[in-house]
Structure 1
Amino acid sequence: MSLERIKIAKRVAQELSDGEVINLGVGIPTLIPDYLGDKKVYLQSENGLLGMGPTPDEENINMDLISASKKPITMDTGASLFDSSDSFVMIRGGHVDLAVMGALQVDQYGEIANWAVPGKTILGVGGAMDLVAGAKRIIIASRHLAKDGSPKLVKELTFPSSGVRKADMLITEHAVFKFTEKGTELIEILSDLTVNELKEITGAEFLYSTQLSKSES
């Protein structure tokens, strides 16, 4: 398991509040149940579960019980199983407080591209567009750079947009950004990079305070 992916999941977990219904998308978001501590939230997997628990140990894996990433999961006490169509009724009906998802790109105002790469085969949109439209709040949990070394936070999207709704926050292994009408604001540095070094690997300009906090994790 990548330590950088775990770092991102742990930092996202700090943003969750007791009582929230939270959809966890594919990839890094599915690590979050292991790092909630004492928080009581209701984790939704779009394939039809509300009340997702932490990752099971090897002796208790049941591959009939999986996350959106097709990884084994557990169920918290009181969890519910239901049809995928009912799961999307929850999402489209505005009953999800927060969606945590990955992204291929995010622009300087928080517009998300996370379902297609131009020129490559589209495997399926999944729930990306429904979540962008229906969730009350959106956090992007993503590596800072794509596999080809290009920045994921960009001035303008070059990949197809997932919808007009904007993300509220982006958390990478290096930093925490929030999005406003004025653009991107850096609110916390999570690695040993300086602000100038962070600028070099980021494709969008960002505002920041001279009293910027730096994580000790």
Structure 2
Amino acid sequence: MSEGRELIARRIARFLKNGDLVNLGIGMPTLVANYLPEGAEIDFHAENGVIGLGGAPEEGQADKDVYNAGAQKATILPGAACFDSAMSFAMIRGGHVDVTVLGALEVDQQGNLANWIVPGKMVPGMGGAMDLVAGAKTVIVAMEHCTKDGASKVLKKCSLPLTAYKKVRYIVTELCVLEVTPQGLTLLETAPGVTVEDVVAKTDADLVIPAAVGCME
């Protein structure tokens, strides 16, 4: 696993509070469960029908019947509950999920999210992302700051079809932590060794730069 992905997952884990019900999206977001501080009382919800999902199993300890919503091997913690998809989505749509963490293709300075389709490419569908970003109290995006071609994924305005309109609260990348606020997209923290100027140079969106910017570690 790259240092950038680990940094993103570790930082997002610090956003979570005891008592939160949290849904982790497919891919990088699933790593967040591996970085909770010891003793943290966080309940992870998976839309395939679990509350009480744990982190990745240790080598040789995987249960062939236990997977997360991304079909990755997972663990189930003592006291967990399993149920059908109808109940799972009732929890999501009913506003009972405190935090959802998702990946993104694009996010813009108004908190709009595009993460489900690139026009012209075959996809199975939007999945549960639309429900999660609409129903969760706090939406956090975990993603790399730029595409493989070096183009910013943090934009003034999304160009891809939207998954959700003005729902994103925080964006965490390998370069920085950003918050969508009424004043604009605000730079909260930079990664170790990354300057404010580095972030500005790789961000298409307009940024609000506070007098004091923190460090992700």
- Per the alignment, residue 67 of structure 2 pairs with 66
Show CA shifts across 1:115-164 (max 9, x none). Answer: 11122112221111001111111111111112332211100010011122
Q: Quick one: distance in 2 between partners of 1:165 and 1:193? A: 28
- Per the alignment, residue 10 of structure 2 pairs with 10
Q: Quick one: distance in 2 between partners of 1:119 and 1:188? A: 36
Structure 2 gap ranges (5+): none
Alignment of 1:47-66 (within 5 A): 47-66=48-67
Q: Quick one: distance in 1 between partners of 2:40 and 2:150? A: 35
TM-score, normalising length from structure 1?
0.95
| Cα 1:165/1:89, change in 2 over 3 Å | farther
- Per the alignment, residue 129 of structure 1 pairs with 130
Identity %: 42
Whether the aligned pair in 1 keeps the contact of 2:110 and 2:166 (CA below 8 Å) is no
The one-letter code matched in structure 2 to 1:162 is T
Q: Quick one: distance in 2 between partners of 1:150 and 1:48? A: 37
Q: Quick one: distance in 1 between partners of 2:212 and 2:158? A: 30
Matched residues, number: 216
- Per the alignment, residue 184 of structure 1 pairs with 185
Q: Structure 1 stretch 183-192 or stretch 141-150: which is displaced more?
A: 141-150
The SS at the match of 1:40 is coil
The one-letter code matched in structure 1 to 2:112 is E
| Cα 1:137/1:159, change in 2 over 3 Å | same
Q: Give the C-alpha shift of residue 165 in structure 1.
A: 4.0
Q: Quick one: distance in 2 between partners of 1:60 and 1:194? A: 42
The one-letter code matched in structure 1 to 2:8 is I
Whether the aligned pair in 1 keeps the contact of 2:9 and 2:32 (CA below 8 Å) is yes
- Per the alignment, residue 157 of structure 1 pairs with 158
Alignment of 1:187-206 (within 5 A): 187-206=188-207
CA-atom RMSD in angstroms: 1.2
- Per the alignment, residue 94 of structure 2 pairs with 93
Q: Quick one: distance in 2 between partners of 1:211 and 1:92? A: 38
Q: Quick one: distance in 2 between partners of 1:43 and 1:214? A: 27
Whether the aligned pair in 2 keeps the contact of 1:133 and 1:165 (CA below 8 Å) is no
Q: Quick one: distance in 2 between partners of 1:174 and 1:83? A: 38
- Per the alignment, residue 26 of structure 1 pairs with 26
Q: Structure 1 stretch 127-136 or stretch 158-167: which is displaced more?
A: 158-167
Show CA shifts across 1:164-189 (max 9, x none). Answer: 24211001111000001232000100
Structure 1 gap ranges (5+): none
Verify: 1:172 aligned to 2:169, yes or no.
Answer: no
